[in-house]
Amino acid sequence: MDYTYFMLPLSILNNAEKNNDSGGSFIVYKSNNIYRMHLVGSIAAIEINPETKGGYLILDDTFSTILVHFQSSMFRDIETFKKGDLIEILGNIDIYNDTITLSMTNIKKITLSRYCFNKIESIKNLISLNKDGI
């Protein structure tokens, strides 16, 4: 089964097999191809190019971190985000120099209760995949 979108803890990326095909880059986890991920965490660092408004941020979900890059055309209000903000991100898996990164397609600020809910859901998904042997 292929997933184009899945919510899992960020730490699974460390042990996932990296690959790509005509659909783009993806990770293989428990025989599932995952092309997109839904992640929650806090901004550990953010760098915005003042001219292009593109840049990157480092997302920390307490288990691991990932580099997330973005283009200005998608995020007019990216300058409102700052280090320490709790955020929810949807993005495409990218592999650069054998390192997994995320190309952001959506971002929003979230509350602590939403963060906790999403963390619980991602852990449930991970347990379900491991339990079902998928």
Model pLDDT for residues 94-118, shown as the tens digit of each residue: 998 888 999 998 899 999 999 998 8
> DSSP strand E in the chain: where?
2-3, 6-7, 17-21, 24-29, 32-34, 36-48, 55-60, 65-70, 86-96, 99-109
Tokens of 131: 């339990």
Structural domains in the chain, CATH included, are 2-122 (2.40.50.140)
Whether residue 104 contacts residue 48, with contact meaning beta carbons closer than 8 Å, is answered with no
Q: Give the pLDDT score at 60.
A: 93
First CA to last CA distance, the chain: 9
Q: What is the pTM of this model?
A: 0.83
C-alpha span between 7 and 125 (Å, rounded): 7
| CA–CA dist 38, 114 (Å, integer) | 13
Higher pLDDT, 119 or 4: 119
Cα distance between residue 34 and residue 99, in whole Å: 15
Say what percent of the chain tops pLDDT 90. 31
Asked if residue 3 has pLDDT above 60, the reply is no
